[in-house]
Amino acid sequence: MVTAVRSEPQASAFLARADLGSLLDALHADGRTVIGPTVEDGAIVYAEIGSVADLPIGWRDEQAPGRYRLAHADDERAFGYAVGPTSWKRYTFPPRVPIGRARRDGDRTTFEPIEPEPPALAFLGVRGCELAALRIQDRVLAEGPVTDPDYAARRRASIVIAVECTVAGATCFCTSMGTGPEIMSDGADLVLTELGDGFLVRAPSPAGRELAARLPLVDAGEDRLGEGRAAVAAVREAIGDPVAIEGLPGRLMARLDDPRWAEVAERCLACANCTLVCPTCFCTSVAQTSDLDGFESVAERTWDSCFSGDFAKVAGGNFRARRQDRYRQWLTHKFSTWVDQFGSFGCVGCGRCITWCPVGIDVRDELMAIASPPARRPLPVAVATQPGAFVPGRIASTAAETPDTTTLVLEDVDPRIAAGSPGQFVMVTVPGLPAVPISVSRFAPERRSIELSIRAAGPATGSLHELPAGSTVGLRGPLGRGWPVEAAEGRDVVVVAGGIGLSPLRPLIDALLADRPRYGAVRLFHGARTPADRPHVSDLEAWALRSDLELAVTVDRADETWTGPVGVVTHLFDDARWDGREAVAFVCGPERMMQATVDTLRDRGLRRSRIFVSLERHMECGIGLCGHCQLGKFFVCRDGPVFSLHELGDAFVLEGI
Amino acid sequence: MATTTLRPRVGVVKLTSCDGCQLTILDLEDELLALTERFDIVDFPEATSDRSAGPYDILLVEGSISDPDQVERIHDLRARTRLLVVIGACATAGGIQAMRNWGSVDDWASSVYPDPSLLRVLDRVTPVSDHVKVDAELRGCPISPDHLREFLTALLVGRRPQLPDEAVCLECKRRGYPCVIVAGGLSCLGPVTRSGCGALCPAFGRGCYGCFGPREQPNVVALTGRFEADGLTRAEAGRRFAGFTAWAEPFRAAIPEDGPARPIRAASRGASHAR
């Protein structure tokens, strides 16, 4: 959420409806032209307001994606609508502004800027979202290292009378963007809240207090304050929270190749209406006009749009030639790269781009389709989540995998644990020893069974490794975020395992094979130090016989039984002919093996957002509370252990993080 | 051309057209004298009865190719012209008269003319670019005086003309008109039509007729879908594209196979028989 600071306590002053004209009179007396809402061309637009009669008294706007209609209600409200097609940038950042002049006189050429001459304006009826938009444009155009002098001058010459929203438009989503329906941003001089019989008034700025002092204000009284609070709260309630913005910038950039961009481009007209009605969009072009001989020319800054054909064009071609390129540019700028550039979203949730899209494309839906929040694929319910609580699991049988690795087949396991998803882990304990995180190497919910393949690495795992059948262990889980199997749908799949790293991948392979037609080619590569260090050999042998799975195995050091390839696992696909550009990869093994694998996969064209690795870290609590397993911004136990390379960034390749 | 010390020889010729684009040239009142000082205007039927046989440095061609003589003439003109510029919807897209392309010449000729045998026309009305190489085009019905001024200035100064390929919507929003599709449910072609008119029709609460023809990346299918959602049948929605640039793709493809209007055969024949 963007910063939501109420700059003033609740208003306590009240302006009777009959006295609204006194506000206009005071503004006019200051020599200001009042710009405010008025009905024109079938819409409530912002234009010059001469008197109260110019305001849209009794008018309502009915909005839907691609649709806007006015309706008349039987009341006296002047601000009973949401927002119309005009945004305040028409007055702070006009569509055409002459900015410079060039003259050629013989051999002498001169250039001179055109100095702004801003009119003294009062903006009446600025909504919470719109004030936030003005503040965003302030950051872009007036508060950065470079300033647009015309914009800055116009802003300085204007004062802002904000009006809180007491009706909700059907395309509004200020609540998600943290900009309304209350006035939440700073920058208003006067703030009004419309009630049945008048307006609550507060004055957050010196200019506003000076103005308020000239109005016939009375004490509002507790009832009116309550009415105002309730009206705005009802708007918040009606809008709800349609866009999950937490983490949205990152999610969006991870979906640059989402097929939805092409799909939305079939509906999108690339007509630029969304950007032109947007209160924050600031893209322009400079048009030059000259006299017939080119002796004098004027440069004019003109509203343009990333949807225009010429916008990303160079002599050799167009960098964003297709509609899908332009839609992606717009949406990712608004909701991701704007944050990097200017520290906030480029969207305030006013809903104009939805209402005024001639084909009704709803940015709320597109965002949720392209960058849906993570792990809404509900995590299986974990049991015994607290670090001190465990549920029992009985060891039905054990199987030696390698000299130091044993698989425990647990039965009578809590069904919620047995219903975990591939890549998840459990905390396992025996009395007297610390609990250790173990990835589940097979889920068998129908038998209430899981398998744990445990390598004896320390005292705790050593004890687990030696437990005989019939023993009982304590379990907490299933924990963490496993392999995103759904990311593989419709794509080729590459699974690369190093040694015991095959164990956390085994449930993934089970899941792929159980629903085989949903995926493209499935290729599994396994490498081990020696033939004897290969776990799950019977599975490997069974998979080798399948025609719908390509399996290749290698060892670092062969023995007399080994007839297969020798070398590191990446050699298995160094020279392969398959194209990785549309594939998804799942990788698990020692960290160095994973790094080498990732490099090779990247060489094959796989994207960072489609390469998933499972990380090992020191985990104690398994639920993101103890702090041991932090990796950058992540708790590996809670946010992982499976991550995309894109999520991890440099944290994956740098040592000591 | 700007570098030559002699004034460039400019011709204006017309094929099948209403002369409206020529009148737009005459509408450049403030620049007209200056233009005649800089250009040697040797042919201009709306302005002078003098005729020249060329050659031309610049030839502005108005009108569509509608009869066999025009085919011969445009090849002849091309051969005598350095820079051939087509102006207006007729020359660039076939114009309003290209709507006859959906019918048969025999059918409509017999219902319009007392003696159709005197008529010598082509089966199809076509833009100039279907016949000869075109060096530049100015769109519109009529062309925009601003575009013309910019084009001529650019020629004189020796730079590339700035004629943006953008939707009418950009001009419409810069001028501050609420969208007539969204607020009025009108069938406006603005989103798929190239700018240049200053959003003239939306300014008067009307939908765009597409006078400047298709812009780049026009999504006609999606816009037709919107018209249907507003209550038009598929055929009615397609016929919205049947205006001054009906023959330009992809507008042409949107128009139903039985034509831009009710089939002329049944309707007008029936009427004339009844009379």
pLDDT, tens digit, for every residue of A342-365?
999 999 999 999 999 999 999 999
Looking at CA atoms only, how far is residue A96 from chain B in angstroms? 8
Looking at CA atoms only, how far is residue B173 from chain A in angstroms? 6
State residue A185's pLDDT score. Answer: 87
| A291 contacts B153? CB cut-off 8 A | yes
pLDDT at B1 over 60: no
Interface with chain B: mutation pick from A83, A91, A104, A269, highest number of B CBs within 10 Å: A269
State residue B133's pLDDT score. Answer: 98
pLDDT at A221 over 60: yes
Using CB atoms, pick whichever of B153, B217, B222 lies closest to residue A290. Answer: B153
Predicted confidence (pLDDT) per residue in B244-263, tens digit:
999 999 999 999 988 887 54
State residue B158's pLDDT score. Answer: 84
Indicate the range of A6-20, A456-470, B142-156, B165-179 predicted with least confidence. Answer: A6-20
Higher pLDDT among residues A472 and A388, named by residue: A472
Taking residues A320-329, report their average pLDDT: 95
CB contact A305 to B (< 8 Å):
yes
**Which residues make Cβ contacts (< 8 Å) with residue A206, sequence separation at least 6?**
none
Instruction: Label residue A374 by pLDDT band (50, 70, 90).
Output: low
State residue A1's pLDDT score. Answer: 38
CATH annotation of B9-157: 3.40.50.700
Predicted confidence (pLDDT) per residue in A209-220, tens digit:
999 999 999 999
For chain B, the average pLDDT equals: 90
What is the β-pairing status of strands A59-64 and A67-72?
antiparallel
State residue A3's pLDDT score. Answer: 39
Q: Residues 56..75 of A with a Cβ closer than 8 Å to B: which? A: 66-69
Supply the DSSP symbol for B176: T
- Residue A163's SS3 state is strand
Q: How far, CA to CA in Å, does B238 sit from each of A29, B33, B124, B258?
A: 55, 45, 20, 11
State residue B270's pLDDT score. Answer: 37
Instruction: Label residue A624 by pLDDT band (50, 70, 90).
Output: confident
pLDDT at A239 over 50: yes
pLDDT at B108 over 90: no
Interface with chain B: mutation pick from A38, A271, A297, A314, highest number of B CBs within 10 Å: A271
CA separation for the pair A179, A176 (Å, rounded): 8
Instruction: Label residue A11 by pLDDT band (50, 70, 90).
Output: low
Q: Where are the beta strands (DSSP E) in A33-106?
A: 33-40, 43-48, 59-64, 67-72, 96-105
**Which residues make Cβ contacts (< 8 Å) with residue A60, sequence separation at least 6?**
A70, A71, A72, A73, A80, A81, A167
Using CB atoms, pick whichever of A69, A323, A356 lies closest to residue B217. Answer: A323
Taking residues A72-96, report their average pLDDT: 96
**Element (DSSP H or E) covering residue A643:** strand A642-644
Looking at CA atoms only, how far is residue B216 from chain A in angstroms? 6
pLDDT at A93 over 60: yes
Taking residues B218-238, report their average pLDDT: 95
State residue A377's pLDDT score. Answer: 45
Are B43 and B12 spatial neighbours (Cβ–Cβ below 8 Å)? Answer: yes
Return the residue of B nearest to A95 by Cα. Answer: B174
pLDDT at A10 over 70: no
| A276 contacts B174? CB cut-off 8 A | yes
State residue A375's pLDDT score. Answer: 52
CA separation for the pair A192, A199 (Å, rounded): 6
Domains of chain A in start order, with CATH, are 1-96+111-269+318-373 (no CATH), 391-479 (2.40.30.10), 485-614 (3.40.50.80)
Distance of CA B190 to the CA centre of its chain: 16
pLDDT at A526 over 80: yes
| A86 contacts B191? CB cut-off 8 A | no
State residue A115's pLDDT score. Answer: 92
CA separation for the pair B173, A90 (Å, rounded): 10
What's the whole-model pTM score? 0.77
Token pair of A625 as six digits: 């509370």
Instruction: Label residue A395 by pLDDT band (50, 70, 90).
Output: very high
Domain ranges of chain B: 9-157, 168-254
For chain A, the average pLDDT equals: 92
Residues of chain B in contact with residue A41, where contact means CB-CB under 8 angstroms, are: 177-178, 183, 205
State residue B262's pLDDT score. Answer: 59
State residue A98's pLDDT score. Answer: 95
| B152 contacts A273? CB cut-off 8 A | no
Q: 């800027």: which residue's tokens?
A: A113
Instruction: Label residue B267 by pLDDT band (50, 70, 90).
Output: very low
Nearest to A82 by CA among A158, A10, A173: A173
A198 Rama sector, left if φ>0, alpha if ψ -120 to 50, beta otherwise: left
Predicted confidence (pLDDT) per residue in A262-308, tens digit:
999 999 999 999 999 999 999 999 988 888 877 899 999 999 999 99
CA separation for the pair B125, B92 (Å, rounded): 11
Q: 């647009």: which residue's tokens?
A: A148
pLDDT at A373 over 80: no
